[in-house]
Chain A
Amino acid sequence: MAEALIKHREGIVGEWRGPFPFTQLVHEDPDNLARWEPWVRHAVWSYELESQVFLSRHQEGRKDAVTLWNMNTQHVGAAPRPTSAARRIVTLIRPTRGTFRRQARLVQAWADLRADRSTEILSQLTPPAAFWTSIVGLHPDRTRWTLELIDLALGFAAAVEQRFKHALPCMRPHDLSPQIQPMILCPGHSSFPSGHSTEAFMVAFVLWRLLRAATPAKDPLWAEQLMRQAARIAINRTIAGVHFPVDSAAGELLGLTLGEYFVRRCRGAGAYTAWRFDGTRYQGNDDFRWRLLFNGDTGQRINTSGFCDLMGPEAALGSPMLRWLWNRAVAELQ
């Protein structure tokens, strides 16, 4: 093809007439995003999200905690050096050894459902876009911006959850017993928190907020179905034998909190709620109860758990380039 183009040009190009006038693109103008390829946009937005967060390990009381901070880094005034004002997003404290030991018994119990759930489990090995697509009705041509937004949220969730997993290393169920025998290849990263749970709840939350932004009177049934789906995706990983129920609970809290922070940054400066998950307060025999943190009647986050703490409202900066994407997604869902 290249050689064809070379010969073709020679055949038609004629004498050089010089360049024509043109307009420079504006610095940092979000509208430029429409010019870039999807993967480039994805890289730019990911940088926008990830460059604003920082992870620290510290003592919370006498417990080892890991916290994700929102740095609020911005450039103010004429000086070139940016300023930062760190605000908490979410803190995770891992469960005790005894809790994991008791949780292994639940993994063993859920294994009874493996044959029943195998098709779902295998379809959900990678981010299961087909599943939320089927609730909301997404399509690559009709709702391309929504799909890019969800892709972005997933990427952010994956980066954060893997950073947490690295900071809070926890054994997988099969490390505690040779009788767990997962029905799929157990991923090579820490068990806590569950990445599937984090991502599924983050996507469910973001989609629900998008639907509400597009149609303020949207029935909470959409939220209820999205959250049921997220919980089922999380539980399927326990059935498969690769996650403890407590991993799913931490993933839910992380996913919902990241979702809220993400939406905040998309919609412009304002407050989000910061949270803490204290795994040492999770009862070892407790199964994953997603309703403790979300009310399907109102479509609102709640806290009726004994192991999560609301750490108060915190401020985040808006992002014009994220807002650009958000508005397009809302428009196509209207």
Chain B
Amino acid sequence: MPTAWRRLAGVTVTEPYFEWARRNAFRYYWTRADERPARLAFPVIMDLAIPAANFERGDWGHTRPPADWRQVISVPASYGRPPPGLEATSYCTATVREDFFDRLVVDPALRAVIRRIELALPVGSEVSVQRNLPRPEWPPGSVVTGVVDDGLAFAHARLRDGSEPRMQYLWNQDGSANPPQGFDYGLDLTKTDTAGGTGMKSQMEKNTFAKLVDEQEVYRKTGHMQMQPRRHKSLAARGAHGTHVLDAAAGAHAATVGSKRPLIGVQLPVRTTADTSGGSLTRYALDGVRYILERATKVPVAVNLSYALIAGPHDGSSILERALDQLIQLRRAAGLPFAVVLPAGNHHLSRCHARFRTSAKPRRMRWRVLPDDATPSFLELWLPHVPATAKVAVRVRTPTGDISPPITEGQTWVWRPDGQVLAEVVYFVAPGPGLGRNMVLVAIAPTVSENAARAPAPAGTWSVEVQKDGKASWVDAWIQRDDTAFGYRQRGRQSRFEDDAYERFTDGGSDIEEDNAVSYVKRDGTINPMATGRETVVVGGMHRKDWRAAKYSAAGPVIRPPGRGAPTPLGPDVLTVSDDGCAHHGILAAGSLSGSCVRMDGTSVAAPQITRWIVAQMARGLPYDRQAVAQFAQTGVAPRYRTEANPPPGAVPQQAAKRGGAGRIEPPPLVDPGIER
């Protein structure tokens, strides 16, 4: 049988996911005509060799920018005017023209200042609007809680100060109706009225009937909820991820909270939560954090980002992780308390991580790709840090039996039966030392086609063989997240590794949570790849009843980067409550509308409870960083909290650090008085 594998000659890849998107004429990138901008443009996140402010202003140091660079790269104006303390930030987002990716290969000026890029998912048409940045004055003693999430119910009674919303600013990143100052997309809502529109507070007043806020009407009037296809309507459902998280991070009775605990929210684009089609949310997360910091210039801020992925370098080197670390360090150096809290991730038992030792004898990973998956599937094989001795050869076998030749460093191959690219292998070479590791991306087209002209990729077992000459070394592979977020229509289906030696269940039928020595499929190392940086606080989940780690709560270890020792975390920093017990899944907190209460589980609901603790620490001028959180878990004593210093009767022994971090923290229940379930 003739093979359908073809090597693409003369392709130099600057971004593997862009290569895959372009190879498919962007048909999985823009899934609908209305997402495709009139002038082709791609949102990216960038790692720069110079401060982002200088980059945005065209002041590239010794390098002269290309004459037309502003036509090729559009950086949000926000990055040109950093808030105090953040002048040295060297990470930014941008919207770039299609030819940018090729020019980055050959243009010495671009190469000199742009070190790395990562493609993000599109949000639809973008406009450019310049308005005056609000310069809020915060009451003395204020601490801002920032939440980047999906479904932020700002009118909820648990999020009010008296009758007013505590949310001061809210950026809904979908659409282009009213972008915030300095950015060119989304809908910016403010608490007070502005020239640009009616504020959240007025809308709540106007839509109060019989002394009851019609919250859904407020969300519709502000454009925050739109009952249109593919628009943001998370708040129309009974429970919303972001509202549960907001309540866990900052919810309180309206009469008790006062004006010193304001909130700033960032609603991520629907697309980034609704499907995972080969682009990331990192650009939106970084812009969102930036948006929060620009409005909370002089006050302490704790940001909760309850999102997790599966695949990534896991050594803190991803652009978002580096950018967050840098923002945290710069702000703290300027004397401004700042923390970012992330979940450990829920993919402990998802069979999406493989780790094995390579040798001259090929090792084969079996990758089970499900039928009826309407989004592409991705596998990332991350190679060791020392590029010279870490070259491998990869062969991919399709379910139809077509085996690729050995694919080696720098090569790009496609599998193109009948003229259509149904799979691609990109052996990506990191652009330089300290800029991440080499990575082999294997991308597979959707296994179901909604278009007769488009063939689906075969579902079934794909296999990836890895072979290495010379010194043996460890390699890791992760399958990227492809499941469906809370409350969204199912499109993606999570693929996984398969190995006969992987044991899922005990004889009694319960899940096995420890790896064996034989299988290459590992539970270890499933930790959220956005949460392996140095400075972010990472939280796993556990049961309130017996303090056992939640079985889904992902584990380290984090890959240790060369030259970076102690501060790199081994796993999550701490565990906190994400389930009331093994039979009582999830914890109770606010539903979308006032007066409702829903249960939700996952490390997403654990993280914000630590955010709440951090805000309280900041308010008292006490330590709040990773070390402080770990310290509190080990020895802390605080009213209504339990820690390893005073565990409840029946608590199981502490987990190993890669799973359980420094220890466990049991905060008081969110629903007050606590309900025994």
Contact = CB atoms under 8 A, between A and B. Distances in A.
A131 B14 CA distance: 60
Interface residues of B, number: 18
Contacts of A112: 233, 236, 489
Contact of A291 (B211, B217, B229, B237): B217
Contact of B209 (A110, A113, A116, A297): A297
A181 interface: no
Nearest to A245: B227
Given A221-B211, A297-B210, A105 B236 contact: no
Contacts of A108: 229
A106 B227 contact: yes
B68 to A, nearest CB: 40
B238 interface: yes
Nearest to B487: A116
B597 to A, nearest CB: 15
Interface in B189-242: 208-212, 214, 217, 220, 227-229, 231, 233, 236-238
A113 to B, nearest CB: 6
Contact of A113 (B212, B228, B229, B237): B237
A235 to B, nearest CB: 9
Contacts of B211: 221
Interface string A190-233: 00000000000000000000000000000111011100100000
Contacts of A297: 208-210
A224 B209 contact: yes
A269 interface: no
Contacts of B487: 116
B233 A109 contact: yes
A280 interface: no
Given A113-B236, A113-B237, A220 B227 contact: no
Contact of A105 (B208, B220, B229, B233): B229
Given A116-B237, A116-B238, A291-B217, A109 B228 contact: yes
A109 B209 contact: no
A220 to B, nearest CB: 4
Contacts of A296: 209-210, 212, 214
A295 interface: yes
Nearest to B236: A113
Nearest to B488: A112
A314 interface: no
A309 interface: no
B227 A110 contact: yes
A112 B236 CA distance: 10
A105 B233 CA distance: 15
A284 to B, nearest CB: 13
Given A112-B489, A116-B238, A105 B228 contact: yes
Nearest to A106: B227
Nearest to A219: B210
A220 B233 contact: no
A101 to B, nearest CB: 14
Given A116-B238, A291-B217, A109 B210 contact: no
Contacts of A223: 210
Nearest to A116: B237
Contacts of B208: 297
Contacts of A287: 220, 227
A295 B214 CA distance: 12
Interface in B425-439: none
A106 B228 contact: yes
B209 A295 contact: yes
A224 B207 CA distance: 12
A220 B237 CA distance: 26
A223 B227 CA distance: 25
A258 B553 CA distance: 57
A224 B228 contact: no
Contacts of A105: 228-229
Interface in A258-310: 287, 291, 295-297
A109 B231 contact: yes
A314 B405 CA distance: 87
Given A106-B228, A109-B227, A110-B227, A221 B210 contact: yes
Contact of B210 (A106, A116, A220, A291): A220
A265 B231 CA distance: 46
A106 B220 CA distance: 14
B216 to A, nearest CB: 9
Contacts of B237: 113, 116
Contacts of A291: 209, 214, 217
A218 to B, nearest CB: 11
Contacts of B220: 287
A113 B237 CA distance: 6
Nearest to B231: A109
A223 B210 CA distance: 8
B121 to A, nearest CB: 19
A109 B229 contact: yes
Interface in A305-325: none
Contacts of B212: 221, 224, 296
Contacts of A219: 210
Contacts of B236: 112-113, 116
Contacts of A221: 210-212
Contacts of B214: 228, 291, 296
Nearest to B239: A116
A220 B212 CA distance: 10
Contacts of A116: 236-238, 487
Contacts of B231: 109
A321 to B, nearest CB: 34
A193 B508 CA distance: 58
A219 B211 CA distance: 10
Given A109-B227, A116-B237, A224 B217 contact: no
Contacts of A113: 233, 236-237
B238 A224 contact: no
Contacts of B209: 220, 224, 291, 295-297
Interface string A82-111: 000000000000000000000001101110
A127 to B, nearest CB: 24
B31 to A, nearest CB: 16
A106 B228 CA distance: 6
A7 to B, nearest CB: 63
Q: Which of B210, B227, B236, B489 has the most CB of A within 10 A?
A: B210
B257 to A, nearest CB: 25
Contacts of A224: 209-210, 212
Nearest to B229: A109
Nearest to B234: A112
A64 to B, nearest CB: 30
A221 B214 CA distance: 12
B443 to A, nearest CB: 29
Nearest to B207: A291
A287 B209 CA distance: 20
Q: Which of A106, A109, A220, A223 is most buried by chain B, counting CB atoms within 10 A of its CB?
A: A109
A109 B231 CA distance: 8
Interface in A52-101: none
Nearest to A294: B209
Nearest to B226: A109
Given A113-B237, A116-B487, A287-B227, 19 more contacts: A105-B228, A106-B227, A109-B228, A109-B231, A112-B233, A112-B236, A113-B233, A113-B236, A116-B236, A116-B238, A220-B209, A221-B210, A221-B212, A224-B212, A296-B212, A296-B214, A297-B208, A297-B209, A297-B210
16 contacts: A106-B228, A109-B231, A110-B227, A112-B233, A116-B236, A116-B237, A116-B238, A116-B487, A219-B210, A220-B210, A221-B210, A221-B211, A224-B209, A224-B210, A287-B227, A296-B214
Interface of B: 208-212, 214, 217, 220, 227-229, 231, 233, 236-238, 487, 489
The 4 A-B pairs at the shortest CB distance, nearest first, are namely A296-B209, A224-B210, A221-B210, A220-B210
